[in-house]
Amino acid sequence: MGTPTLSQMRAEVIEKFINLETIINAIICQHYFKRVYKQFFLEVLYNEHCTFGLKRSILEKIIPNLDKTQLQNLNRLNTIRNYFAHTGPEMFEGAEIPSKGQQGVVPDPRKMAKALDYSQLHQEFQKLEPTVARYLFKLYQELGGEYVKG
């Protein structure tokens, strides 16, 4: 299959993070309503102003024994998602118009002298995401949530 393109990596990271947020939304619903309450899910948790940070904060309050390592991993996955969703385009040193085939860099927003390595970030995301997803889904099930295939 070969090395994925930046667009493919970007799509995969964002789609998988959407899935993690959906599980968090289900956990929040399950905690407060003992079921996934569609109206609350769509009108409140699915609202563009209901940020990941707010959902994470709620998760920390409603699950007092939240595994700190998994929470750190979830935070790291969010950081990686933000890199893919909000950084770019490439910058070219000293050239107003880059020459054909010239490689640009995307500066790391936290360390501007360093370039982002999207391939490495993608690999890190792929490594952490399945474990975090399983952990969150287990929390959902422990609250009485069920998965029903449609």
pLDDT tens digit string along 58-98?
Answer: 999 999 999 999 999 999 999 999 999 988 766 666 656 55
Paired tokens of 65: 């024994």
Prior bond of 4 cis (ω within 30°) = no
Paired tokens of 73: 């991993």
Instruction: Count other Cβ atoms within 10 Å, centred on residue 89.
Output: 7
Contact (CB, 8 A) for 3 and 119: yes
- Selected residue with higher pLDDT from 130 and 147: 130
Beta-carbon contacts of residue 140 (< 8 Å; ≥ 6 apart): 23, 26, 27, 30
What is the average pLDDT value for the chain, to the nearest integer? 89
Axis crossing angle, helix 68-86 with helix 118-142, rounded to the nearest 10: 130
Gap between the Cα atoms of 5 and 117, Å rounded: 13
Paired tokens of 38: 């569609």
Residue 148 has a pLDDT of 79
pLDDT in tens, 96-117: 655 565 566 776 677 766 777 8
Residue 4 has a pLDDT of 86
Residue 24 has a pLDDT of 98
Gap between the Cα atoms of 88 and 18, Å rounded: 21
- Selected residue with higher pLDDT from 143 and 118: 143
Residue 6 has a pLDDT of 84
Q: 108 pairs with which residues across the strands?
A: 111
